[in-house]
Structure 1
Amino acid sequence: MRRDEFLKTLAALAAAGALPLSARAAPTWKMMIPANPGGGWDTTGRALGKAMIDAKVADNVTYENKGGAAGALGLAQFVNGSKGDPQALMVMGAVMLGGIITGKPPVNLSQATPIARLTSEYNVYVLPANSPFKTMADVVAQLKKDPGSVKWGGGSRGSTEHIAAAMLAREVGVDPARINYVAFRGGGEATAAILGGNVTVGGSGYSEFAEYINTGKMRAIAVTSPQRLKGINVPTLKEQGINVELGNWRGVYGAPGITADQRKALTNAVLAAIKTKSWAEAMEKNAWTPAVLAGAEFDKFVDDEFALLRATMAKAGML
């Protein structure tokens, strides 16, 4: 075989994902982040992109933020614009599942290709520094007195902080349908609303609020974990007599229509990236918990999560 023919064959195999990573040039990847800048998905996507470059499975990673509708707008753009692209990734997670259940968008997550679950994170509830309330007990007392007067700020409708707020209301004897939940398109918007005192209480992953909690601009009053988070002195809801526990996992999907070999190559690239030092540093900095799951196990997990979240939301009066 002539050299030019050999190179053409090699390029074709690489494009199809049929060569091992070591035999291919590291490509440029496209990362869809279906949320505005500044939130958990944004942080996850950019940390993963950096780790992919560090793992030498990517020469470059480009990012596109498309917020709204619990990730459904970004999902639609990803599904319609990335068909068959073996170098396209989309960040997703429990929030997207909840949004699909409540919003019933025209696109479906099953149109894209599952790759891997990466992390899990519990939510923290915070008050603005100048809030007249000091504890979750204060918030609950006001919630019982006048549910509409307590503005809960967080991610899109169906997000884990929305679900947890509805579950909390139900646990303390308040109709979940009466909670005043203010949804934001991304963590940056929610953070600005909390800092500006435009909501009573805000909820999100701890990593999104850590900087403001540490500098005293927000007061952390509860976490949704089963026990206190390591190194973080914030009481759980359960400690405070509210039987609510809810985690928020994040993962990545590939484009629709990629081949089995391309999916395997994409999965291997992601798994190589999360073994890097930069990914370990991101995990520690953001207080993420490792929750790696890939292949058929991840497929089954997503199906089970849809069923579990739908049941939880129905019980909390959200459907």
Structure 2
Amino acid sequence: MNVLVTGGAGYIGGHMVLALRDAGHNPVVFDNLSTGFRWSVPEGVPLVVGDVGDHELVLRTLQSHQIDAIAHFAAKLVVPESVADPLGYYLNNTVKSRTLMAAAVAAGVEKFVFSSTAAVYGNASDKPLGEDAPLAPLSPYGSSKQLTEVMLRDVAAAHGMRYVTLRYFNVAGADPALRHGQCTENATHLIKVAIQTALGLRPHMEIFGTDYPTPDGTCIRDYIHVTDLIAAHVLALEHLDRGGESMVVNCGYGHGYSVSEVIETVRKVSGKPVEARFGSRRPGDPVTIVADSGRIRSRLGWEPRLDDLATIVEHSLRWESMLRERNLKL
């Protein structure tokens, strides 16, 4: 398949590009490079620098590269930032996704994989969440993704498109072969922040809220290795290529770790201290978010291989250490 990967120069989209090539498909990267990196696009993979809100450019790209399917990763994704800038998030995540879908319809692209989020569930339950759980996002980020899910469902019904929407839980880790990883400066991802603190790249880190109704008072999340997450996307594309039906699936392991447990794991794996200071809760943060992943396992045959927090931390640490060494040489 020829697959347009929006946000393909970024963290998760970049792993998708590698996985598509590994599986024998032909990725085309579409990225405005606002958070992605030109150097991260593998040699030989076409890169179109542009915005998914540019209908004419997207349409020309779909047609000129004879695109068979779209994997849509391009989005803003920082929850506190979305609370402060809701209009920016609705524009970037929802309005521009509408433009992308319109171009897909015009070009006759009938297969669409969408990167959604567990943030659509809000503060739902301390039990694993199934895809049919009520949707009640706590942030504009979650709402912007929920609206895009609804739009994709309706566009698919009207125009014969088929799709898989994947609701991510907390993505972390790096390619085990160190071909790609999280490169964003000033990242907010807990594991990356903790590792940067362990490596001395940050003087300390902050725990946002210690009074949640959890065993240690900190939030609980379901952490999924980016390699397992991307394997789910490839399965979703191949499912659609076989004529499979549209579906919504969770991408998580089905168990969670608290913020304090993650920090302690980083200390153990790195063998270094991690100074963590206590702060107040952030707006939009749910208490506990853990996936029920039964649907993706049964319908797509997804079998995660890296379901281990220490492994996720180890791969992240190796990647961050490599980045640090490279930056020191520059």
Query: TM-score, normalising length from structure 1?
Result: 0.30
By relative contact order (CA 8 Å, sep 6+), the higher-ranking structure is: 1
**Bigger Rg over Cα:** 1
Query: TM-score, normalising length from structure 2?
Result: 0.30
